[in-house]
Amino acid sequence: MAHVITPLNGWRAIRRRDRGQLGKRTGAVHEDYTQWVIDRAMQLGMPYKLPRFLSVITPAPPLPMTFETEKEYQKRITELTEENASLRGEYQEAVRENECVMNMLEQNTWELRKKNEEIAKLNDIIKEKDAALDWVPGMRKKRRDFFASSCSYSDDSTSEA
């Protein structure tokens, strides 16, 4: 019977080493190992998105700034600071204008609401007076006749034209 290696048996087969055998930890990943992992992942058809590390090539130290470029940068910083200040002023002015417009809108809304309340009160008063007039004897017929004569459409006006 063949010995079947399961994941549990596979982990037991690993030989452990102590620090003395492994060497000093540097924390850096070696380029050869990284390249092997990438190649192995490609070989197995697995996507590998990790960028390659270029630990061998170190970036060159930045060159010191010359006096002329430093002056140019200082001039540019001054220009940008002034532009920033002017833009902040424009922004504050726009905010104040927006607040003014919003206050005017709120005031107009309040006035409109008051007028609507007044119109509603006047409509209620008119309905009460109409109801009171309906109780007066003969007033209902007079009102009906008055509105009928003012709103009637006669055929005489169409025949004259």
The pLDDT of 93-112, averaged and rounded, is 96
Listed by start position, the domains of the chain span: 28-57, 67-150
Eight-state DSSP code of residue 5: P
The dihedral region occupied by 27, where left means phi > 0, alpha psi between -120 and 50, and beta the remainder, is left
Residue 55 near residue 28 (C-beta atoms within 8 A): yes
Q: Check pLDDT > 60 for residue 5.
A: no
AA letter at 159 = S
- CA gap 102, 150 in Å, rounded: 47
Give the pLDDT band (50/70/90) at residue 161.
very low
Q: Answer whether 157's CB lies under 8 Å from 147's CB.
A: no
Among the ranges given (15-29, 46-60, 97-111, 113-127), the one the predictor scored with the smallest mean pLDDT? 46-60
pTM: 0.38
Quickly list DSSP for 45-77.
Answer: T----PPPP--SS-PPPPPPPPHHHHHHHHHHH
Of residues 9 and 37, more confidence is placed in 37
Residue with the bigger pLDDT between 67 and 109: it is: 109
